[in-house]
Amino acid sequence: MVDSENQKFCLQEVLESFKSCLSPEKEIYIEHYVSGWRGLVKLLNSLGSLFGFISKDAVSKTQILMNFLKSENGPHYATVQSMVKFELDNKLVDVDKKGIYPESGCRTLLRLHRALRWLQLFLERLRTSKEDDKTSVMCRDAYNESLAQHHTWLIRKSAGMAFYGLPVRPAFFEVMNVGTPEQVVDVLGKAVPLLYEVYQITEELYQKHNLLDLP
């Protein structure tokens, strides 16, 4: 449940965070990336305890990144680009199999990066959906096309069950807290290309450094 007005989700706010995470040189600021995810987690929390296990994992991953940002190495974690360089230069990443760095910044961000692809696919489906279309089906299709291939059988089953608990489209639009359905569609039309841009920049960077399969 929403605890206070402060905790209330607003899609516009999330959009602003993802907008601010791109520097003019197209670097990605981790602080704003994380704050975008935290906004999304607020929405997830307002959907009820069925989504608690997903929210918990997202919070734990954003917390790992925030801890790096607040550590003495913080300046190296200002952007995704500087983090990748720092962790690779200093051999702080388990590249082939889990070892002494199971929670490196690179592998942690990769998990959120994969989830960003799901989000982009889901929001695009929502944007182009009709009033009677099922959010659970849109969510499941987006998940199967993206994140599912990286998850164990148990997580896939649990996620699949949680999707049935999603509110119907009009209620879901309400939760997004941006106004009329037309306004929601309008904001989604801005959000999807922006998320795609952030996703693509990260994808290319990870590909270049061979980091897309970090354990």
Binding site for ligand 1PX (CB under 6 A): 11, 40, 43-44, 51, 53-54, 57-58, 111, 114-115, 118, 139, 143, 147, 155, 159, 166, 176
What is the nearest approach in angstroms of ligand 1PX to the Cβ of residue 94? 12
Question: What letter does residue 22 receive in the DSSP assignment?
Answer: B
Contacts 24+ apart (CB under 8 A), 138-145: 139/163, 139/166, 142/118, 143/118, 145/118, 145/121
Nearer to ligand 1PX, 23 or 149 (CB): 149
What is the nearest approach in angstroms of ligand 1PX to the Cβ of residue 110? 9
Backbone phi and psi for residue 88, each to the nearest 5 degrees, phi listed first: -70, -45
**Residue 21 · residue 34 · CB < 8 Å:** no
CA distances from 122 to 42, 94, 99, 110, 137 (A): 17, 31, 34, 19, 10
Nearer to ligand 1PX, 24 or 56 (CB): 56
Amino acid at 106: C
Nearer to ligand 1PX, 76 or 107 (CB): 107
Nearer to ligand 1PX, 24 or 180 (CB): 180
**Residue 191 · residue 15 · CB < 8 Å:** yes
Short-list 151, 127, 153, 149, CA closest to 138: 127
Nearer to ligand 1PX, 75 or 174 (CB): 174
